[in-house]
Amino acid sequence: MTSIRIRLKCGPKSEILSLPADSTAAALFHEINQRFSIPSECVSLKIGFPPKEVSFTSNSALISSLISSGQQVLVEEKSKPKTTEFSGFQTAAALENQSKLGTLTTPATNEYSQSSTSPAPNASDSLYQAPAPNPNDPPYVQTPEGDLVLRIMPDDNSCLFRALATPLGVQPFDLRKIVAETILSDPFTYSEAVLGKAPQNYAAWIQKESSWGGYIELSILSKHFDVEFCSADVQTGRIDSYNSNPLTGQRIWIMYSGIHYDLAAIAPILWDTSADIMFFDCKNTEMESFVKQLAALLRQKHYYTDTGSFSIRCNTCGTGLKGEKEASAHAMQTGHTQFGEF
């Protein structure tokens, strides 16, 4: 690793910081001072979820000894220590102990500090220029619990099953199989009138990797796992709930673009999906407003398809179709399930 990239969050402000991999705590505190005007001796750092305070043993300690690349670091200002005679991490007691050993030394100079003989910096040198947003960062909005981030699923006709399989800890095909078995076990509830085709045919169809999932699958799987699924429509901001008030009290958020599903998760580490928090308390009513903010952000980026008017082509026979209704009707009549926009 040649660099360490972290996100500093101080109140409503946040900054992306990139430093060499061998950078020290002194470098980090210097950057924090430049961005947020907090003296190094007054900085409090917290990482993880829930946030826990961390502290370096010395100015020369490597940042990587406590903070991993990709993490979000909460920066807070604490009261200035009473022992202000000494800079950095050395305390009066530490210096007294060193003097007893005959090894008293002047506290190490901050590698970014200037000596008294150094020329005063130009006004332009003291101006901090925030880095440009990284185009590789996933879309996200800030919440008190961390960043609510869009985890984008592959566009392979299994996006819904992939989005749900990630938090549920199963494979997408397993979810398809559960849907098929549920339909076959209850043909009265899942009749041809509901499914648009005979239960046996639908059960066989949904187990194909080329078949899209939708509200029927969301309804079945939410009940099977006793988890509420909430789907946010990017275009309209509408929230659809499946299996509200489950006994588990847990909820999963997904984002629907009209033809595609993605997962929404709290990311303590923006670039590390392994740390994502994907289950939410159903009593957490505040999260819905942040999900709607994420939907609005995606809408601004035109991350949706107007399913009532978009042009689509059947990849099997080449027939041109308009809107979701024509595509659905064509699929029912021909059994073709491979479509693409044009």
Which pLDDT tens digit goes with each residue over 3-23?
A: 788 878 888 787 888 889 899
**What percent of the chain has pLDDT above 90?**
46
End-to-end CA separation in angstroms for the chain:
42
> Which residues make beta-bridge pairs with 62?
24
> For residues 104 and 76, what is the distance between their CA atoms, to the nearest angstrom?
32
Question: Which is catalytic among the residues 10, 159, 230, 314?
Answer: 159
- The DSSP secondary structure of 173-186, one letter per residue, reads HHHHHHHHHHHHH-
pLDDT at residue 84 in the model: 39
Do 135 and 125 form a contact (C-beta atoms < 8 A)? Answer: no
Give mean pLDDT, residues 276-280. 92
Q: Specify the pairing of strand 3-10 against strand 72-77.
A: parallel
> For residues 268 and 262, what is the distance between their CA atoms, to the nearest angstrom?
18
Identity of the residue numbered 59: N
The yes-or-no answer on residue 262 being catalytic is: no
Nearest to 165 by CA among 216, 238, 208, 224: 224
Whole-prediction pTM: 0.59
> For residues 163 and 42, what is the distance between their CA atoms, to the nearest angstrom?
42
pLDDT at residue 170 in the model: 92
Fold: same for 3-113 and 140-305: no
- 187 preceded by a cis bond (ω within 30 of 0): no
The CATH code of domain 140-305 reads 3.90.70.80
> For residues 306 and 258, what is the distance between their CA atoms, to the nearest angstrom?
6
Give mean pLDDT, residues 34-56. 85
**Domain limits, the chain:** 3-113, 140-305, 307-342
Question: Which is catalytic among the residues 30, 260, 314, 330?
Answer: 260
Residue 2: which pLDDT band, with cuts at 50, 70 and 90? confident
- The DSSP secondary structure of 224-245, one letter per residue, reads HHT-EEEEEETTT--EEEES-S
Q: 52-58: list long-range contacts, CB under 8 Å, 24+ apart.
A: 56/25, 56/89, 57/89, 58/25, 58/88, 58/89, 58/108
Tokens 């909430």 sit on residue: 230
The yes-or-no answer on residue 260 being catalytic is: yes
Residue 49: which pLDDT band, with cuts at 50, 70 and 90? low
pLDDT digits (tens, 9 = 90+) for 184-229: 999 999 999 999 899 999 999 999 998 989 999 999 999 999 999 9
The yes-or-no answer on residue 42 being catalytic is: no
What does the DSSP 8-state code read for residue 9?
A: E
pLDDT at residue 83 in the model: 46
The yes-or-no answer on residue 330 being catalytic is: no
Q: In what order do the strands lie in the sheet with 311-314?
A: 320-322, 311-314, 339-341
> For residues 341 and 324, what is the distance between their CA atoms, to the nearest angstrom?
11
Question: Which is catalytic among the residues 137, 155, 156, 186?
Answer: 156
Helix (H, G, I), strand (E, B) or coil at 258: coil
Give mean pLDDT, residues 225-234. 96
Tokens 């978009």 sit on residue: 310
Assess whether pLDDT exceeds 60 at residue 127: no
> For residues 227 and 235, what is the distance between their CA atoms, to the nearest angstrom?
25
Give 294's contacts (C-beta < 8 A, 6+ positions apart). 139, 140, 141, 148, 150, 232, 255, 264
CATH 3.40.50.300 fits 3-113, yes or no: no
Torsion of CA 223, 227, 231, 232, to 10 degrees: 160
Regarding predicted confidence, which is higher, 327 or 39? 39
